[in-house]
Amino acid sequence: MRHYPAGVTVVTLNSEHGPIGFTATSFASLSLEPPLVSFNIAHTSSSLDAMLGADSVVIHFLGEHQHHLAQRFSRTADERFSDRSLWTPLDTGEPVLHGTPIWVRATVHHRIPIGDHTFVVGLVTRVHDNTDETPAAAPLLYYQGRYHRPTSLDR
């Protein structure tokens, strides 16, 4: 699967034990009407219990300038939210990571265990789009075990 390129997201949620989040490249857009998105969470993930109990999530589409957040949210879970300057909770509780070009809030619609992951389907209830800022941040990509920025082939 390392040969398949992917955009990089961080999924966050609020739990009874505080904020939870993890880097995920399994994000997909599933449906426009209704607006449904999906991602997978591994059954080995320390975020699994919180994800199984969550009503809603925020999915951040990271920009290339957020490479450090992709690394942070795939490493030691206890330290992911330790820097309070990096995030703010929404009124609804989910943490939002500062400087993210686009994030969507979704309520959890389905959770389907499939193999060694659970497939999570979310109904989008809010979209926050900063990409009309100039210059617009380029998305962060993951390919062959490394982070990349896109290069256009069009002139």
Hey, which residues between 64 and 93 contact ligand FMN (CB under 6 A)? 73-74, 77
Question: Which residue, 46 or 125, is less far from ligand FMN as judged by CB?
Answer: 46
Question: Which residue, 60 or 91, is less far from ligand FMN as judged by CB?
Answer: 60
Q: Locate tokens 């450090």: which residue?
A: 68
3-class state of residue 56 by DSSP: strand
Distance CA 137, CA 65 (A): 8
Residue 73 DSSP code: T
Hey, which residues between 2 and 31 contact ligand FMN (CB under 6 A)? 8, 22-26
Residue 13: φ, ψ to 5°: -160, 165
Site string for ligand FMN, 25-64 (x = CB under 6 A): xx------------xxxx--xxx-----------------
Question: In the bound complex, what is the minimum distance in angstroms from residue 136's beta carbon to ligand FMN?
Answer: 22
Q: Measured at the alpha carbon of residue 24, what is the angle toward residues 22 and 29, in degrees to the nearest 5?
A: 130
Say which residues have a Cβ less than 8 Å from residue 36's Cβ, sequence separation at least 6.
29, 30, 109, 121, 122, 123, 124
Question: Which residue, 35 or 147, is less far from ligand FMN as judged by CB?
Answer: 147
Number of residues in contact with ligand FMN, rule: CB under 6 A? 17
**Residue 107 in the binding site for ligand FMN (CB under 6 A):** no
- The encoded tokens of residue 49 equal 């219990």
Question: In the bound complex, what is the minimum distance in angstroms from residue 33's beta carbon to ligand FMN?
Answer: 25
3-class state of residue 51 by DSSP: helix
Contact footprint for ligand FMN (CB under 6 A): 8, 22-26, 39-42, 45-47, 73-74, 77, 142
